[in-house]
Amino acid sequence: MNLIERPRRLRKSGFLRELVAEHRVTVNDFITPLFVTEGKGVSIEIASMPGYYKRSLDLTVDHVKLLRDCGLKCVLLFVQVSDDLKDNSGAEALNPSGLMQEAIRALKLAVPDVIVMTDVALDPFSSYGHDGIVQDGEIVNDPTVDVLTSMAVSHADAGVDFVAPSDMMDGRIGAIRAGLDLAGFQDVGILSYSAKYASCFYGPFRDALDSAPGFGDKRTYQMDSANSREALREVVLDIEEGADIVMVKPGLPYLDVLSKVKEISTVPVAAYQVSGEYAMIKAAAAQGWVNEEAAMLESLLGFKRAGADLIATYFGLEFAQISH
């Protein structure tokens, strides 16, 4: 054939492919979610997330040292508190000696250079398992935003670097920014779950924290999977309200959304490869149906190609350990 263009020329060898690769994944891209539970010396594998553990604070500190030694620079904390601490007001979320606040303090003391981010939403503290305050069967927006703002300030008091509101209430980024500034925490950042969809892929996470909604679902606040322009609206609002980083969640089923967000965002864009995505790869690999390492690398690269500047993923340590 008389071809002038032969794209295969650039695929001839591994070295050449490396040379012309458009995107790469590195340990610098990762946010590592961690589940902190009460007690001491506790380490429990999450049944629906093989190879992933919830740990008490002492073991979490050890684990974060390991993460840092492997080049992982940022953690995103979630806590599991006992049922008797849950109510419909989020009181425990504001407890200055609550598990989250203690976790922030312990990590900033033991590994000060690691960036600590915290989940801001009421579901782990809610007797209803909802992200906000419930009144007459509805999740009420404005009273919830007040509590989330106090929660963010309480995390800042404990020394957090970034708060990560994951609740999808309207106006919470502006309120949290104002609350942090008023309390003197101008340097505490906000990673906003800007486009967070109501998704079945959060199932294993809710198992891990025992935080499944007690009634109904989260569709009156998390986004409808049918929409992508609405994600841009949420992102624009969050940036106007002061978000430092915006996030799209889940990941793989929403790469189109990620790509559109990247086109319009003036701040870094994160993607969250959620618990169900991790579980699917693990489950298929356990059956011998996909190669785990290849599936992990290909999915992570997909996030970068779609435009992610950062990736929240449960695969961070595994990636770091194989790429060293």
Nearer to ligand PBG, 93 or 274 (CB): 274
Nearer to ligand PBG, 185 or 272 (CB): 272
Nearer to ligand PBG, 60 or 275 (CB): 275
Tell the smallest beta-carbon distance from residue 154 to ligand PBG (Å): 17
Tell the smallest beta-carbon distance from residue 105 to ligand PBG (Å): 22
Nearer to ligand PBG, 205 or 254 (CB): 205
- Three-class HEC string of the chain: CCCCCCHHHHHCCHHHHHHHCCCCCCHHHEEEEEEEECCCCCEEECCCCCCCEEEEHHHHHHHHHHHHHCCCCEEEEEEECCHHHCECCCHHHHCCCCHHHHHHHHHHHHCCCCEEEEEECCHHHECCCCCCEEECCEEEHHHHHHHHHHHHHHHHHHCCCEEEECCCCCCHHHHHHHHHHHCCCCCCEEEEEEEEECCHHHHHHHHHHCCCCCCCCCCCCCECCCCCHHHHHHHHHHHHHCCCEEEEECCHHHHHHHHHHHHHCCCCEEEECCHHHHHHHHHHHHCCCCCHHHHHHHHHHHHHHHCCCEEECCCHHHHHHHCC
Tell the smallest beta-carbon distance from residue 111 to ligand PBG (Å): 23
Q: Could you list the active site residues?
A: 196, 249
Name the residue number minimizing CB distance to ligand PBG.
205
Tell the smallest beta-carbon distance from residue 16 to ligand PBG (Å): 37
Residues found near ligand PBG in the complex (CB under 6 A): 119, 121, 123, 131, 166-167, 202, 205-206, 218, 274-275
